[in-house]
Amino acid sequence: MSVNNKRVFYVKYLAHPIYAEMLAARPDVRLDRLENETAEDVFAPILAAAHAYQIGAARDELAPHFHAHADLLKRAPNLLIVSSNGAGFDPVDVEACTAAGVVVVNQSGGNAHSVAEHALGMLLTLSKRIIEADRALRRDPNVNRNSLIGTEAQGKTIGIVGLGNVGRRIAELCKGLLGMRVLAYDPYLSATEMAARGGEKVELDDLLRASDYVSINCPLAKDTRGMIGARQFALMQPHAYYITTARGFIHDEAALYEALRDKRIAGAGLDVWDKEPPPPDHPLLQFDNVLASPHTAGVTKEARANLGKIAAEQMLGALDGKRPPRLINPEVWPAYAKRFERAFGFVPG
| Angle made by CA atoms 87, 13, 285, in degrees to the nearest 5 | 65
Which one of the listed residues 67, 113, 247, 304 is annotated catalytic? 247
Q: Is 276 a catalytic residue?
A: yes
Q: Residue 198: what are its φ and ψ, rounded to 5°?
A: 95, 10
User: Is 61 noted as a catalytic residue in this protein?
Assistant: no
Q: Is residue 250 a contact partner of residue 228, using CB atoms and an 8 Å limit?
A: yes
Calpha distance 29→26 (Å, rounded):
6
Residue 34 CB coordination number (10 Å): 17
Please list, in sequence order, all residues whose beta carbon lies within 8 angstroms of the beta carbon of residue 341, skipping any fewer than 6 positions away.
Answer: 347, 348
Q: Which of 200, 253, 258, 276 is catalytic?
A: 276
Which residues, 6+ apart, have CB-to-CB distance to 249 below 8 Å? 220, 225, 226, 274
Intra-chain end-to-end CA distance of the chain, in Å: 19
- Collapsing DSSP states into helix, strand and coil, what is residue 55? strand
| Rounded Cα–Cα distance for residues 292 and 296 (Å) | 10
295 has catalytic annotation: yes
Half-sphere exposure of 76 (CA within 13 A, CB side): 28
Tell me which residues are annotated as active site: 247, 276, 295
